[in-house]
Chains A and B, each alone.
Chain A
Amino acid sequence: MLEINDLATAYGKIEALKGVSLAAKAGEVTCLLGPNGAGKSTLMLTLTGILKPQRGSVKFDGVELVGRSPAEIVARGLALVPENRLVFPTLTVRENLMAGAYKRRDMAGIRSDIDAMFARFPRLKERTEQFAGTLSGGEQQMLAVARALMSRPRLLLMDEPSVGLAPMVVAEIFAIIRQLHAEGVSIFLVEQNAHMALKVAQHFYLMKQGRISFSGTPGELANDDVIQRAYLGQQRPDERPALPSTAAAPTPSAEPQPQAEATEVAQR
């Protein structure tokens, strides 16, 4: 469904993606793991046309996306649930959903989809006319997912939906992901929370410093010794947990950050 080939994106002279190749299959949840700064969000912004890549190609159902505007890419059926939600803070919940359907012209369909979103996310229904900026983090995440779904995407991109949320809310978000998958929505998920991702995804990629360093099934991921220690938090007996002192995580996360172990992954 989605085929990414040798994709490279830079911020000025700093190359954030150094030739990334991966694929996401229709009907599957594909998960991209990686530490902070690996280039995961850059990849997402490149896929959605916000950032222009230096080279490489992104094929979505055979159609090249590189060079197209974000608006065209949304119209083709790709929608991103961005990192940190990015809801419209001074628009109401209902208006956020309306904005998500910007590329659609079928008003009747939009209205019934809004009702469907409220049925799926009852907490949003209670806050229909509330400004999105006043919602809790978890509610904003649900709104961000609902807003993306309003464009009726064929592939839903999700950039770290669990970041900054309480464990209970994270579980709720992943329940939604499972539900969407069961309904046949194809999902490309970026995560740091490998434990939760293992429960929903059918294929995994690991990204490290702008490159893909691992590709495999959940079983292969769970059996990989380095990933075990970096992402699933199992320490070798001779190792001291070095996380709190060295890992300067810019965003709070309920799960351990993998930076401390990241150098080992690079040496594979």
Chain B
Amino acid sequence: MTAFLQLTLDGLIDGGAYALVGLGLSLTFGSLRRLNLAYGATAMLAAYCGAWLHIQHQAPVWLVALTVMVAATLIGGYVEGLCFARTEKNTASTDAAPLAGADGLEVVALASSFAIWMQLEQLAVNLLPRHLNAFPSLATEQDWRLGELMIRPDRLLLALLATALTLGLAAWLQRSRAGLSWRACADHRLAAHLVGMPVARLKSVGFAAACALSGLAATAILLLDGQVTPMFGMWVLLKGLVAAMLGGLGSVRGALWGGLLLGVSESHAQALWGAWGREFATYALLFLVLVAPWRRHRSDRLVSGVHA
């Protein structure tokens, strides 16, 4: 029983990291209705900038964290301008606009974000060519004990951060006027124009915020590991995508539940079947979400505009 509880707890704590990366992806999808494949690579290149500062100039943790967030926002701006702004522009002012995501240009955006993914990853590898690169570490030697259970304090902190961020963002989206306008823009672009919302600006701000969030997520996760490898981008994209899809792309709270569910399933699957089981759990969950019969009745909730 203790082992079961320990695995569940570990899973929940891991799930916090998944929720954080899923959140950024869910927000960009929810506001643009476009899947940003360069999402993981953006976080990775930003993390590499932080790691570079750490390695070359022994920058302190706070400066590394700040650098990663700023870099993620700037790189995100580059990605948005190149992949998404243009495929938006053509539809922004016509009757076709209400049917966001149904214009075929999403394929163009998807393909170009894939190209940018490759580009960003190559840039990162050029910046720091080694496979393992040092990242500041907050890992502690001493574990906390809760009766029979062991908790790593730094991991717990990450999970709490993820939960607080997600629930805070959800409350902001639900209650504030700014949150309402963001949801309105994601819901119906032309209608948002008609009530006088600055749609283009809200979208850019939303995209930038989501990228900054991915920078924060990357920092928080890497601080636990104390290192970053070229696999990080793919990891962020994959885990983020599964977490976000489990909760429904576009949903903020959904990203949290999705991340936690993914964390717990992986943790138990690994205990049962080893590393292979962990990967299996990830894809099995994704598969279940995509084909599950209960989705048929609520297919509109699998993907939707930004909502709490």
Contacts and interface: CB of A to CB of B under 8 A. Distances in A.
Interface of A: 11, 41, 45, 48, 50-52, 69-71, 73-75, 79-80, 82, 86-91, 95, 98-100, 102-103, 147, 151
Contacts of B165: none
Contact of A88 (B93, B177, B187, B198): B187
A73 B197 CA distance: 11
A88 B185 CA distance: 9
B187 A91 contact: yes
B227 interface: no
Contact of B94 (A11, A82, A98, A100): A11
The residue in B183, B188, B305, B307 that gathers the most chain A C-beta atoms within 10 A of its C-beta is: B188
B195 A74 contact: yes
A50 B196 contact: no
Interface in B274-308: 304-305, 307
A154 B201 CA distance: 27
B134 to A, nearest CB: 45
Contacts of B195: 74, 99-100, 102-103, 147, 151
Interface residues of B, number: 23
Given A74-B195, A90-B307, A82 B180 contact: no
Interface of B: 93-95, 98, 177, 180-181, 183-184, 187-188, 190-198, 304-305, 307
A99 B182 CA distance: 10
Contacts of B184: 88, 91, 95, 99, 102
The residue in A48, A73, A88, A100 that gathers the most chain B C-beta atoms within 10 A of its C-beta is: A88
A70 B194 contact: yes
Given A51-B93, A95-B183, A99-B181, 15 more contacts: A45-B95, A50-B93, A51-B94, A79-B194, A82-B191, A88-B183, A90-B187, A91-B183, A98-B180, A99-B192, A102-B195, A102-B196, A102-B197, A151-B195, A151-B196
B194 A74 contact: yes
Contact of A86 (B93, B98, B180): B98
Contacts of A151: 195-196
B177 A98 contact: yes
A121 B197 CA distance: 25
Contact of A70 (B181, B193, B304, B307): B193
B196 A86 contact: no
Contacts of A79: 194
Nearest to A84: B98
Contacts of B188: 86-89
Contacts of B181: 99, 102
Contacts of B191: 82, 86-88, 99
Given A71-B197, A98-B177, A50 B187 contact: no
